[in-house]
Amino acid sequence: MKPHIHPEYRPVVFRDPSVGYAFLTRSTVRTDRTIEWEDGHTYPLVDVDVSSASHPFWTGKGRVLDTAGRVEKFHRRYGTGGDR
């Protein structure tokens, strides 16, 4: 690899403030914020909007949408019949 053309790959803490969940992994993301981690070291910090701890699919709190009802409503409204 050519030197000085790739971003620095380093440990970074990603935190989901809505549920208080954080994890340490490696990334090239850039940030000016830092946090002291459980091991006593200071790492760059990135706040995320959604993580596996808050996403409805992973938490089991997702909604089931009535897509069949929506399709029938569309056919009634626009008279396509739905025979296709």
Mean pLDDT of the region 67-77: 78
77: phi > 0 → left, psi -120 to 50 → alpha, else beta; which?
alpha
SS3 36: strand
pLDDT of 81: 65
**pLDDT tens column, 16-61:** 998 899 999 999 999 999 999 999 999 999 999 888 888 767 666 7
More reliable by pLDDT, 58 or 69? 69
Alpha helices in 41-81 (DSSP H): 56-59, 67-78
pLDDT at 13 over 90: yes
pLDDT of 80: 73
What Rg do the C-alpha atoms of the chain give, in angstroms?
Answer: 23
Q: Which tokens is 33 given?
A: 């914020």
